[in-house]
Structure 1
Amino acid sequence: MERSKDEFPKLWNLFRSVNTLSHLRDIIKNSIDDKGFVKDGASEKLASIRKNKKILESTLRRKLDKLLNQFRNIIQRPYFTKREGRYVLLVKSDRRKEIKGIVVSVSSSGATLYVEPEELIQLNDELKKLEVDEEREINRILENILLEIVKKKNTLLKVIDTFSYFDTLYARANYMIKEKCIVPSINHDGRIVLRRARHPLIPKDKVVPIDVEVGTDFQGLVLTGPNTGGKTVTLKTIGLLTLMAMASIPIPADVGTELSFFDAVLADIGDEQSIEQSLSTFSSHISKISQMMKFASDRALILLDEVGAGTDPIEGSALAISMVEYFLNKGAKLVVTTHLTPLKLLAFRDPRLRNAAVEFDSKTLLPTYRIIMGFAGSSQALEIARRCGIPSEVVEMARKNLDEEYMKVEKAMEEIYRKKVILDEELDKVRENQERLKRERKELFDKIEELKKGKLEKFVKEFHHIESEMKKLKKLIDSSIHEIRNTKDLERLRKMRRKLDRMEKETLRSIGERIDSILRRESDLKLGDVVRIKGTTTVGEILNINEGKLLIDVNGLRMSVPISNVEKLEKGRENAGTEKPEISVNVEKRVPTIDVRGLRVSEVEWKIRKFIDDLIVGGFNRGYIIHGVGSGKLARGIHEILRNEPKVKSFKLGDPEVGGSGVTVVEIK
């Protein structure tokens, strides 16, 4: 705590200012247990009700035991249970008339009736009354606690606000760690520089990081390229990351990213056409942009998707240019996406604008989702049409129908882009070679350091041990030779000879294993390799390699073993050996469970025995077997199997809250 006080003084002072509400806490603590239930000692009346309830339940159970013995020939099972809050017996449906009482419920098969014997009706009624009294007293206690909370409402709300603030801090820190985010540099000049930025809602393994900027030495960005190339995602990424930074939320990007605070972030993205309001796609865009123009200023960020689309291309281009110039004249920072060539040309002419393109692979006719600053992208409409199945003659006719001036512009942009691609490929090769040389150089130095620091010392230590073993063997041989010279007992000589041979073999084997352990390099194995422990069928996957030892995962269990004690399995042999236990775990109780309802006794035996084996392998000491009630034949068969199973410590039918007589609880030795 003292460390927190020194490192985070503002948070510490805020934490210290929180009212602990000790009086309210004591009231709740004295009345409510850790599981949220009202304690017996919350009031004298509640304690008395629960005491009488226990006495009555004890009386009921004694009565039930007598009834079970009395009606043992007509009951389905020699146990009682609860139905609708009343204690009942499980009676065979065809023997109903032999017992007086009320049928409370019927099993799904109809073979079992849940009957409340008339001897229990009064006791069950008394128990029900006590339960009602208990509920009323609990409600009274909770109402009193609620009144105390209401009295402290304002203080409590202040505490909630403070801890909500702490909670948001924790959430932001947790998100930063989980998503590998950064806190960007912040400015107030409208400068946005994204480095390997990721859309926060696209999974990390699918998103393509982007590098893009606006507001540096130019005011607006015109983003072009084919459909599905990533233009809209880029627009959303810029907007979302800006808003996240303004909300003090770390952003998924690399160091070097810079964002600005704006008075307004205004976006027109997507198709907002409305039948009810008689708005077409074009009209909906224009309506929204007209509202955005009211708030445009040098403190605004404007994001426009497919500006000028949805109408005549000539008129749409003219309108798009005028709207872009309007926002630029207002001083706003601007990012627009478009397919319109006049807007691309405007970005070449106007120094306030910069072109950027989403990259398109001309070989595969697929987008790469990378952003290329300074280039205008082609929409690739004709190539995409060809890929989508439009006949070649139609595509060629379309190409001939294009305006000659338009074709010149497109070809010029394509040529510039082609040269850029070639240059990028060469640069990638250079960078790749540089990285490879760096890796190889590092690996070489690491190996040298490893030999210097660790391996040589290990060799010296092990060979000292080997030398000691050899000296012991030599001493034993000398002693044996002396003894042999002084004896004439041939049988004794033979025994001594065999002993020497055995000692020699054991010593050489020990030396061999040590040398093998030294020579076995950790680099022969890597994370994810599947290995088998020598002399066993145990197979596991390598989780960690550290100082000659492996941490392996064997069906969810983690084991640490020396490298010399394992052998690597080739692909195709990974599953040889152990089987993964087929255990279903009850999430609430964390108890393994198997459901065999609907099966015959002959069909469940191997399942039950395998379930017991899986419990042992999984480290569980208890499990649930769900068999249902029915006629009881399946449960009796299962109990007979468990009775003859030496690994089973005990078994019994479940309590009412876990299924009663429809479940058997088995305990493992």
Structure 2
Amino acid sequence: MNQRVFHVLEYKKIIDQLAEFAASSLGKAKAAALKPSTDFEEVVQWQNETDEAAQVIRLHGNVPLGGIFDIKPSIKRSTIGGVLSPSECLDVASTIYGGKQMKRFIDQMEEPVVPILRGLVEGIVPLNELERQIRGCIDDNGHVMDGASDKLRTIRSRVRTYESRVRDKMDSYTKSKSKMLSDAIVTIRNDRYVLPVKQEYRGSIGGIVHDQSSSGATLFIEPQAIVDLNNQLQEAKVQEKHEIERILKELSEAIASDKSFLYQNVELLQKIDFMFARAKLGQSMKAAMPAMNDRGIIKMKQARHPLINQEEVVANDIELGESFTSIVITGPNTGGKTVTLKLVGLCTLMAQSGLQIPAFDGVEMAVFENVFADIGDEQSIEQNLSTFSSHMTNIVDILQYVNDKTLVLFDELGAGTDPQEGAALAMSILDEVVQRDARVIATTHYPELKAYGYNREGVINASVEFDIQTLQPTYRLLIGVPGRSNAFEISRRLGLDEHVIETAKGHIGSDSKSVENMIASLEESTRGADRDYEEAEKILEQAQELHRELEDNWKKFEDKREQLYQRAEQKAEKAVEKAKMEAEEIVKELRNRKQQADFKEHEWIEARKTLEEARPELANKKQKQNKPSSAGKRELKAGDEVKLLSLNQNGTVIDVISENEFQVQVGIMKVKAKRKDLEYIKSEQPLKEKPMATVKGKGYHVKTELDLRGERYEEALTRLEKYIDDAILAGYPRVSIIHGKGTGALRNGVKNFADNHPAIKSHRSGGMNEGGGGVTILEFA
């Protein structure tokens, strides 16, 4: 990548902003070294990393990146035998803890999906033992604690004892010899406790003089009586220092033993911090992730220059590389042409650096091998070059490297020389660059280049808008519309006589007039189209908002309806449960009575089955209420089978209370229901007796099974004998006899009967799907 372009496009200012968002010195160093990549796959990877970090910030806000330090120099010193200071050891422990915090934060995250971050934190090694060892020796202020070793605790206890004795002795001097002292205080000189003694009392207090005041009136004397105590104190402090050095050496060796893991953690944390710094920069710019391509296509909607205040910058739509590969921008000075060039160039460098682009979503950027920019006045007095010569020197260098993977930005191409020659040279240079299929944006004042865009394939004109009413540029870029001078309109607004303006118009050719009129018409058409687009955008936004409101209200309605359904069904189930419990109590009571012989077991079974069938099913999900059919509107009468819609159960009309109210039998329940809650199913069919057949197998109606449960033994065998005769007449090959399990007496009676009956070939117990041991299958001969 061309290095000069970084200065011209002010790329360094973006890097400085990026570094401010890094949470650690590691991230700041990584940001400071950032350069655009020309590798397409690498750029895509960088963009994906930034997008992941942006999603995390958007959903979770703060990210735990505090307490991370650049400990690489400390690790290196420890590996060559150096002894680290307490603060260096504490930084190592803090960085280990910061890595664990980051790992825990990502591992516990459910949303969003962040495969890149998860892959990074998987490589972070906790190193709990090393962190515990350091924290057990050094406190949060960077001091070695007494508990770092038993020996250090003993030494420090001795130091405190000696200090206490020295202070007590010195305090006795300040009280008894206060007149001899300049001030009744105890101070320290050369790490020894001394007294500020007046010069004239030097002989009265014997001892060692360690210092004197600037005037010489005060001497700092260590009394002879405490010299031994001070010596003992200093000896204890020397021992303390040696023990601290031993502890720090031990910690340094432990750090050196884990150097590979520590280096790995630092590298990963640096990369994570750098990812989130890029995301935070994008968030501050209200930027979007660009879709990268290697086809030289740039599409930016409402793009803003990242270095201009967001309250002042004018957003523009810019496209390049698809319908056309070159843009020629014309228009007045200070209209924003150069800003547009720098916007495209700087955003390209940012995209290739993994940074997001200050534009609306849907932005698309290309990866170029080189970005060249010839912008500004490059006049060099030292080289004795004119403005034109300086620009041309730069252009000559650019043309050596231009190809189809290049973005070229020309500002005021051909300026600084004769207008006619400059315009011809500008067109020739553009032709050369366009033929090499490079992507080009050029600004110019030359009117000849307005026609250039119409006569060249792949080239389009553009201009920066100028408001004639306010005599101010609007900084809006109009692609497809060449700029016009506006000299006559500006002069008129400034008060120039009309006849002077008309005379001036007479001096220009008809071709120039028609071109100016055409440009004016194009500008007006473009402005009208923009206004229509903005209005359509507003209407679309309002329609989308209305659609969202309708969806929300419909969802609330559905939820409310479902709640009401569930409440009704739960209420109905409670009623059935209550009735069931009451019925069970009645059954229990009847069985305990002496008359229980008058009731048969199968009747209880049928009754309980009816109760179970009356139980409604709760709806677990939303169901549409069935609409009554046209047949459901017919007049109901007793005996009609109906569906009770509120309970979603079938029943039978047993009484017509009124035209709009009926009594319905639902299972064992009798309920009153309105006509609108009933759906007609069918009418009661009159029972018809089916004649017994006298011919075997023809028209003879008998079931293929006989249920003997609840029967007395003798009655059961009598029914069995009659049933076998009927089944033989019906021509059945086999029948099922249901006798239940019970005590087994009835089952044995059925089998004995089968063994002695000449028409029964064999018998067996029922299979798993036939009733098991509670059923006997009889096979006829």
Normalized against structure 1, the TM-score is what? 0.53
8 Å Cα contact 2:155/2:240 also seen in 1: yes
Q: Does 1:15 align with 2:121?
A: yes
Cross-structure match for 2:642: none
- SS at structure 1 position matched to 2:422: helix
- SS at structure 1 position matched to 2:348: helix
Cα shift at 1:164? 1.9
Cross-structure match for 1:231: 337
- SS at structure 1 position matched to 2:516: helix
Cα shift at 1:201? 2.6
Distance 2:112 2:542 in 1: 46
Cross-structure match for 2:422: 316
Cross-structure match for 2:347: 241
Q: Does 1:360 align with 2:463?
A: no
8 Å Cα contact 1:80/1:88 also seen in 2: yes
8 Å Cα contact 1:300/1:332 also seen in 2: yes
Q: Deviations over 1:195-248 (max 9, x none)?
A: 111222333223222221111211111123233322222222212222322333
Cross-structure match for 1:415: 520
8 Å Cα contact 1:83/1:105 also seen in 2: no
Q: Deviations over 1:128-178 (max 9, x none)?
A: 776676566655654554455445444433322222222222223333333
Gap change, CA 1:80 and 1:302, over 3 Å in 2: farther
Distance 1:185 1:270 in 2: 31
The amino acid that maps onto 1:118 is E
Distance 1:392 1:47 in 2: 99
8 Å Cα contact 2:130/2:254 also seen in 1: yes
Cross-structure match for 2:706: none
Match 1:265 to one of 345, 367, 371? 371
Cross-structure match for 1:118: 222
Gap change, CA 1:334 and 1:33, over 3 Å in 2: same
Gap change, CA 1:418 and 1:143, over 3 Å in 2: same
- SS at structure 2 position matched to 1:340: coil
Say which one has the larger Rg: 2
Match 2:168 to one of 49, 59, 62? 62
Cross-structure match for 1:522: none
- 5+ residue gaps, structure 2, are 1-106, 558-781
Cα shift at 1:125? 7.8
Cross-structure match for 1:346: 452
Gap change, CA 1:426 and 1:247, over 3 Å in 2: closer
Gap change, CA 1:431 and 1:217, over 3 Å in 2: closer
Cα shift at 1:355? 1.6
- SS at structure 2 position matched to 1:160: helix
Gap change, CA 1:158 and 1:356, over 3 Å in 2: same
8 Å Cα contact 1:42/1:141 also seen in 2: yes
Gap change, CA 1:401 and 1:175, over 3 Å in 2: same
Q: How many pairs were matched up?
A: 439
Cross-structure match for 2:719: none
8 Å Cα contact 1:87/1:116 also seen in 2: no
- 5+ residue gaps, structure 1, are 453-669
Distance 1:392 1:116 in 2: 95
Cross-structure match for 2:478: 372
8 Å Cα contact 2:492/2:501 also seen in 1: no
Normalized against structure 2, the TM-score is what? 0.46
Cross-structure match for 1:652: none
Distance 2:315 2:248 in 1: 54
Distance 2:186 2:502 in 1: 86
Cα shift at 1:343? 2.4
Q: Does 1:329 align with 2:405?
A: no
Cα shift at 1:192? 0.9
Match 2:318 to one of 196, 212, 215? 212
Distance 2:255 2:421 in 1: 66
Gap change, CA 1:424 and 1:98, over 3 Å in 2: farther
Gap change, CA 1:103 and 1:438, over 3 Å in 2: farther
Identity, % of aligned positions: 37
Distance 2:114 2:374 in 1: 41
Q: Does 1:284 align with 2:390?
A: yes
Distance 1:143 1:130 in 2: 20
The amino acid that maps onto 1:16 is E
The amino acid that maps onto 1:216 is E
Cα shift at 1:41? 3.9
The amino acid that maps onto 1:218 is F
Q: Deviations over 1:402-436 (max 9, x none)?
A: 97589647733663366358737965996799699
8 Å Cα contact 2:196/2:220 also seen in 1: no
Cross-structure match for 1:33: 139
The amino acid that maps onto 1:323 is I
8 Å Cα contact 2:379/2:386 also seen in 1: yes
The amino acid that maps onto 2:141 is K
- SS at structure 2 position matched to 1:12: helix
8 Å Cα contact 2:195/2:222 also seen in 1: no
